[in-house]
Structure 1
Amino acid sequence: MFPMNQDGITWLLSPPDQSLALVLADNEFDVWIVSSRGTKYSRDHAYLKPEDEAYWDWTWDELAANDLPATFQYVHGQTGQKLHYVGHSLGTLIAMAAFSKGELVSMLRSAGLLSPVAYVGEITSPLGRNAAKNFIAETLKWLGLHEFNPKGDAVTKFLKKMCAQPGVDCTNLLNSFTDCRTKTQSLSGLGKNCCLKPSIVDVFLDHEPQPSSTKNMIHIAQMIRDGTIRMYDYNDAGQNKKRYGQPTPPAYNIENIPKNVPLFLSHGGADSLSDVNDVNHLLRTLKHHDQEKIVVQFIDGYAHADFVMGTNARQVVYEPLMAFFKRQMI
């Protein structure tokens, strides 16, 4: 189970009968939870420290190429079984990127992609769109801030200074960082979540959001501006050629996901990060997928956080997801 830009505790924040990890365990699934690198429970490194610039020299490219395969290999080695994968947001992106290269499929039984993120050119989140438009992550990296901590003083102070400049309107963006606790329905610009209790939002904000690399935020901003799924662009033909063997970053061809891989995609009509138009773009890309192997669930009132903390997520999303998993085991 791989969450969005958070640590693995996201899957455990709701009451026991509503948290997906515990619901799966109660239904006799062997559950393994993964925390993204750089987050609270995944900060150790063989020789680097979080204070080192090199520690943060990565984007979701490395998560797809290195971290997710290492996770699959470890769990598969421990259990000897093929895996059902569950990802939310960023966790869906890195999975699809890895699957599109033919990796991990030999160890995969099926995949559940909640709030699937692939194309993000149509996102309506003020947080994402304004940050990309104003090149905020690029500026932070230029200033030497390699760890992007949305709760940290450095990010908050920079945003306040930038937003005070004439002609720059960062109202929604700044509120998303600084006023989350008074906006239980917007939850950092993820969409108007239909099914969150104020108490669960408080619990969520005690733990999340978690740090990421500033380089990763730049990569996502590039995707928003370009509407493409490509590897990180160094904006220098020489650098790109050195890294990729070509002057521009290679694209991820999502249509190359093997057509017989069972996929469960669930998305919401109120989700401002996994926007309906972007998900429809993804579905068009997967139009040649074996239709007996793909299930698409659309929940009109759901926004981004409802999929992991909605009070009715068990009935609406998790029960159908478990039924899908069990069908792949017959």
Structure 2
Amino acid sequence: MTTPIGRAAGSAFSGEVRTNVGSTWVGEFDPKGAVGTNYLEFVCAMPGVNCYDLMASFTGPNCCLNYSTVDMYLKYELQPTSVRTLVHFLQTIRSGVITKYDYGSSMANMVAYGQSSPPEYHMPNIPHHLPLLLSYGGGDMLSDVKDVQLLLKDLRNHDADKLVAQLVKEYAHLDFVMGVNAKQVVYDGLIAFFGKHS
């Protein structure tokens, strides 16, 4: 993740699973709730973090959004998520390695995995015959182009007719969800891919 706000959020989320508000243990992270709002205010106050355009600050400069669609999206999003899911995501950002969840101690990891640290996910172990379509954006700061290139390197032995990689240079993260031309640029090809491999 290349955005200053994303890196700041990753380093600041130190509560891990035991996130505690007063005497209440929090299992859910609600970005619109009190915990989420306080956390966001804390991150936005960090040096070098610009929260003026919060969406672009996290996702990158989206090119193709219709603002009435964005308003509808923001009316219902962001949704709450599990604290553990968020912690796992941020562990990956901090370490730069995709592993199973780190329980925070050698003993707890040993109980869960039979080893002191969480096992790594080995992307080359994805079955070579499994159809995969990777569509990614040149301006995406959440799914960075360099990370996708690393994934493609790991998948270099994948069956060539089962792996499609599509770089949409002008797209950032949310263009894939709400871009005014996403149907033509991404989804028509995605449906054709499903049809070919069904």
TM-score (norm 1): 0.55
- Which of 275, 298, 310 is 2:167 aligned to? 298
Paired position in structure 2 for 1:263: 132
Q: RMSD of the alignment, in Å?
A: 2.2
Query: Is residue 61 of structure 2 the alignment partner of residue 192 of structure 1?
Result: yes
Query: Is residue 84 of structure 2 the alignment partner of residue 215 of structure 1?
Result: yes
Paired position in structure 1 for 2:190: 321
State percent identity of aligned pairs. Answer: 46
For residues 245 and 258 of structure 1, do their structure 2 counterparts lie closer, same or farther at Cα, with a shift above 3 Å needed? Answer: same
For residues 184 and 156 of structure 1, do their structure 2 counterparts lie closer, same or farther at Cα, with a shift above 3 Å needed? Answer: closer
What are the superposed Cα offsets for residues 115-168 of structure 1, whole Å, 9 maximum, x if unpaired?
A: xxxxxxxx113332111122355397144332111111222124435766xxx4
Find the aligned partners of 2:137 and 2:43 in 1 and give their Cα distance: 33
TM-score (norm 2): 0.89
Paired position in structure 1 for 2:26: 145
For residues 247 and 206 of structure 1, do their structure 2 counterparts lie closer, same or farther at Cα, with a shift above 3 Å needed? Answer: same
Find the aligned partners of 1:317 and 1:185 in 2 and give their Cα distance: 21
Query: SS of the residue aligned with 1:266?
Result: strand
Unaligned runs of at least 5 residues, structure 1:
1-122
Find the aligned partners of 2:150 and 2:20 in 1 and give their Cα distance: 33
Across the two proteins, how many residue pairs are aligned to each other? 195
- Which of 231, 235, 239 is 2:108 aligned to? 239
Contact 2:12 2:43 in 1 (8 A): no
Find the aligned partners of 1:162 and 1:266 in 2 and give their Cα distance: 30
Query: SS of the residue aligned with 2:167?
Result: strand
Contact 1:231 1:250 in 2 (8 A): yes
Paired position in structure 2 for 1:309: 178
For residues 230 and 308 of structure 1, do their structure 2 counterparts lie closer, same or farther at Cα, with a shift above 3 Å needed? Answer: same
Contact 2:17 2:27 in 1 (8 A): no
What are the superposed Cα offsets for residues 198-226 of structure 1, whole Å, 9 maximum, x if unpaired?
A: 11110000010111111211111110011
What are the superposed Cα offsets for residues 209-267 of structure 1, whole Å, 9 maximum, x if unpaired?
A: 11111121111111001111101111211111111111111111111111011111100
Contact 2:43 2:49 in 1 (8 A): no
Query: SS of the residue aligned with 1:267?
Result: strand
Find the aligned partners of 1:200 and 1:159 in 2 and give their Cα distance: 24
Find the aligned partners of 1:301 and 1:162 in 2 and give their Cα distance: 28
Unaligned runs of at least 5 residues, structure 2:
none
For residues 226 and 243 of structure 1, do their structure 2 counterparts lie closer, same or farther at Cα, with a shift above 3 Å needed? Answer: same
